[in-house]
Chain A
Amino acid sequence: MSLEEKVVAIVAKTAEKKKTVTLDTDLMRDLGTDSLALLMIIQALEDEFDIAIPDDAFKKVKTVREIVAQLRAHFPRLDAAP
């Protein structure tokens, strides 16, 4: 499973309601992701990849694709993970 696929699955799993999630899903517009929901996504990513995400790393992300980009920027080894 690619990093993109893993992140899409995590975002879908943390949402309060079942919705289709893609890399282009806009967190706020499409999922209504508020600050606590973003925290839920961050903690799920931390649990999945066993990483500690810096507090402000995801402050400006708007789409799932941007989450993936931020993850890559902060944790380059993630692409190599099984």
Chain B
Amino acid sequence: MTLAAFYDRLRLDEGLVREAEFNPYYRHLQSWLGDPVRIDGRDFLNLAANDYLGLACDPRVGQAITAGVSRYGASLCGTPIATGCVDLLRALEERLAAFVGLEDGVVLPSCYQANNGLFTAVAGRDDVILIDHFAHSSLIEGARAVGCKIRPFRHNDPGHLESLLGKVRGHRQAFVVTESVFSTEGSIAPLGAIVELCDRFGAVPVVDDSHGIGVLGANGRGVLEHFGQTGFPGIYTASLGKALANAGGLIAGRRALIDHLRYYCPHLVYSTALPPGVAAGVGAVLDIIGTEFPARRRRLWEHRDTLRQGLAAVGFTVLSGEAPINSILAGTPVQTIRLAREFYAAGLLTTPFVHPSVPLNEGRVRLIAGAGLPPARLKAAVEALPTIAKAWQAGSLVGGPG
């Protein structure tokens, strides 16, 4: 046991980056998200951010944040249970819960914390958690922290879930956990069927709507609106850092649940509260969604379709998800990073996913064309796709399958 051995164990394996000749992670942005974004002194079209509605740089949101900071300061320098729960934050929690159609809510500094802290607060070792095989790391790690039986079900497969629910025995409570939109492929969970199964077996449904809030539903109210779930009996979580263009994580549901979390969710109780400026920013986004959602939604879907058609036309395998996400199946980790490299070389910022974020050798490169992107710039990107595809295919041939 030596310090040198400890640090040696932490050393990163750079083999993938060396072989792909590109590291797509932790690139340093030198600008905001408004088009173009600037990295390494170059301009890029941003097809990587989750700014679905194009509101991250909206001046009205910025003004609301500035006003929030002017009134409350940069931070309340305290946990919500102490000095961190300003009236602005509490009002936002109530407003967000009403927005998604639930009784009450609580806001944490991030959705990772929300998902990670939720389960230890509501479940115990005598319970069982059934979870979609491809659920987000925050949900999996949160469920694991409970120390109870975990029963994964095949991805988006209510038939498999039903067979598992029929077999679990001797537990106090069952929870069924899924995401609404699986962001590496854009598929939408069959939430109606899942809630029905939960109802039949007395299980509590838990849905993470991070990529659905502000995107799905006729009014952008998320997956519950999308599926007409007016009396959702379970637990709802969502990120405030994607379509809602700020930061933070929401947990919403029945009042009894939220009251319990206020005292028993350590990730809430012991974290410095969401900064008031951010709470003001989310409020401004909700105002904008209230009036501009139909137009922004239309543009978002038009952008998705334009990009999807362009990608398919040059021979990319695009996963046919229903959400406004285009995900190219790229193959091995090296092939995936190389594809991201070709996009990067062409001035297009994308997000590559490799194992363990996605199944082994099913790496993918994700492109999200937010509503804020100028159509002319997207058209230019589509025109660049044949060159990108050609360069990637040539690189794959030269470098082998990777």
Q: How far is the CB of B359 from chain A (nearest CB, A)?
A: 4
What residues of B have a CB within 8 angstroms of the CB of A40 in the complex? 133, 151-154
CA distance A26 to B356 in the complex (A): 17
Nearest-neighbor residue (CB-CB) of B356 within chain A: A34
Is A56 at the interface (CB under 8 A from chain B)? no
Q: How far is the CB of A15 from chain B (nearest CB, A)?
A: 9
Q: Is the CB of B152 within 8 A of A32?
A: no
Q: Is the CB of A32 within 8 A of B140?
A: no
* Chain B interface size, under 10 / 10 to 19 / 20 to 34 / 35 or more: 10 to 19
Is A51 at the interface (CB under 8 A from chain B)? no
Nearest-neighbor residue (CB-CB) of A47 within chain B: B167
Is B131 at the interface (CB under 8 A from chain A)? yes
Q: How far is the CB of B367 from chain A (nearest CB, A)?
A: 23
Q: Is the CB of B151 within 8 A of A28?
A: no
Nearest-neighbor residue (CB-CB) of B157 within chain A: A16
- Interface members, chain A 1-36 (any B CB < 8 Å): 14, 16, 28-29, 32, 34, 36
CA distance A47 to B355 in the complex (A): 29
Is A70 at the interface (CB under 8 A from chain B)? no
Q: How far is the CB of B22 from chain A (nearest CB, A)?
A: 23
* Set A14, A32, A36, A37: member contacting B355, Cβ < 8 A: A32
Q: Is the CB of A16 within 8 A of B152?
A: no
What residues of A have a CB within 8 angstroms of the CB of B361 in the complex? 32
Contact with A along B249-291 (1 / 0, CB 8 A): 0000000000000000000000000000000000000000000
Is B103 at the interface (CB under 8 A from chain A)? no
Q: How far is the CB of B356 from chain A (nearest CB, A)?
A: 6
- Interface members, chain B 145-183 (any A CB < 8 Å): 150-155, 164, 167
Nearest-neighbor residue (CB-CB) of A17 within chain B: B359
Is B94 at the interface (CB under 8 A from chain A)? no
Q: Is the CB of A37 within 8 A of B360?
A: no
CA distance A80 to B25 in the complex (A): 53
Q: Is the CB of B131 within 8 A of A36?
A: yes
Is A39 at the interface (CB under 8 A from chain B)? yes
Count chain A CB atoms within 10 A of each CB in B153, B154, B155, B355 and give the residue with the most.
Answer: B154
What residues of A have a CB within 8 angstroms of the CB of B225 in the complex? none
What residues of B have a CB within 8 angstroms of the CB of A16 in the complex? 133, 154-155, 359
Q: How far is the CB of A18 from chain B (nearest CB, A)?
A: 12
Q: List residues of chain B with CB under 8 Å of any chain A CB.
A: 131, 133, 140, 150-155, 164, 167, 355-356, 359-362
Q: List residues of chain A with CB under 8 Å of any chain B CB.
A: 14, 16, 28-29, 32, 34, 36-37, 39-40, 43, 47
Q: Which 9 pairs from chain A and chain B are nearest by CB?
A: A32-B360, A36-B152, A32-B359, A40-B152, A36-B133, A39-B152, A43-B151, A47-B167, A34-B356
